[in-house]
Amino acid sequence: MNELGKLILGSNAFEGVSFISRSQSVHYMEYFSRAENIVAILEAAFNLGVKTFMCSNCENIMAALGEFKGNREIAVLPVIPNAYEYAREASEKGVLGAVISKAKGFSMYQKVRLGLRALAKIKSVISRDVLNLLAELVHFELASFEKYNLGGVILHGQITDLALSSHNPHIIDIFQNLIKETYKVQPVLATHNLGILLPQLMDWKIRIPVMAPLNKKGFMMRPSQEECEKLIRETDYYFIAKKIFAGGRLTPEEAFAYLTDKKAGSFVVGVGSVSEAYHTFSVAKSILKI
């Protein structure tokens, strides 16, 4: 995973996600519905040497990625499946409508290929074989990213934590084998339960990079900040830190000062404007000595 670099541009703001307030989320939804506003931040990050972009398969993000001139020079880290957008669209269009809307940008070749694969698997879907359905959803989501340089693929935290709560290592096995064998890139697990997940992965003898919250406030570090810090310090799993600003409760100076002695390989950084991008990434590079 070292080829990803220390800093990764995150896409929460582009997806309308804010932990500060509902009004901030609404602002993000409106502002980043225009692809050019995402492109401007991609360019700012790129100018500062940040060449890894973690994102979900959202219409506005995919449009921006297509317009961004440096899109072949960066590593893209898709987070799949895009659980939040499926839920949002399904409430408006139904499950089938949500899936169809995802396929709007596919080429005819992609649609035919995915259609044939779906037909071959229809028996397992009808019989509610969730593991086979997960595999098909991975193929479906990643079809949008085929023309880009995949730096890895991240399993959405809701799916990781579902595997954890149901004590089902097969979900993780199917995901990581599929990503390694079919797409030849590194699979990554996202989670909001690092303190529970890492011991379970060790028990299952599964070695895979993990992405989880790490911040001075202990925001979303479960079951506790102390337990998560201890596991990060004492295990040798590749760790990617997210929620480093504690949902907007920390300044970049505070956040990165805390992270200087933490054993994280990479840091996901989300920003909501071009000026914020230049300030945040400049501070990060200075404090982390990148």
- In this prediction, residues 203-216 reach a mean pLDDT of 97
Residue type, 55: C
Q: In this structure, what token pair is assigned to residue 225?
A: 């900040």
Q: Which residues pair with 7 in a beta bridge?
A: 267
Compute the average pLDDT of residues 155-160.
Answer: 92
Q: What's the whole-number mean pLDDT along residues 166-184?
A: 94
Q: What is the pLDDT of residues 233-261, one digit of tens each?
A: 999 999 999 999 999 999 999 999 999 99
Helix 130-142, helix 108-126: angle, nearest 10: 170
- CA angle, 187 then 189 then 194, to 5°: 150
Residue showing tokens 């040497």: 49
Distance (Å, rounded) from C-alpha 147 to C-alpha 62?
A: 11
Per DSSP, what are the bridge partners of residue 269?
Answer: 9
Amino acid 91: pLDDT: 42
Answer for the pair 110, 117: CB distance below 8 angstroms, yes or no. Answer: no
Q: Is residue 155 a contact partner of residue 175, using CB atoms and an 8 Å limit?
A: yes
DSSP state of 154: E
For 92-140, how does the pLDDT look when each residue is reduced to its tens digit (9 = 90+)? 444 444 444 554 554 544 444 444 454 444 344 433 455 667 787 888 8
- How is residue 78 annotated by DSSP? E
Per mean pLDDT, which of 16-25, 74-83, 159-168, 185-194 is the most reliable? 185-194
The pLDDT-based confidence of 41 (bands split at 50, 70, 90) is very high
- Segment 46-93, tens digit of pLDDT: 999 999 999 999 999 999 999 999 999 999 999 998 755 544 544 444
Q: Is 184 left (phi over 0), alpha (psi -120 to 50) or beta?
A: left
Q: Per-residue confidence at 18, pLDDT binned at 50, 70, 90?
A: confident
Mean pLDDT of 18-42: 94
18: CB partners within 8 A, 6+ apart: 12, 24, 25, 27, 28, 248
Which phi and psi angles does 40 have, rounded to 5°? -60, -40
Query: What's the pLDDT score for residue 111?
Result: 44
Q: Which single residue is written with the structure tokens 């020079």?
A: 73
Q: Which residues contact 251 (CB under 8 A, 6 or more apart)?
A: 245
* Phi, psi at 124, each rounded to 5°: -70, -35
Tell me, what's the pLDDT at 122? 39
Sign of the CA dihedral 144, 148, 152, 157?
negative
What does the mean pLDDT of the chain come to? 86
279 CB neighbour count, 10 Å cutoff? 15
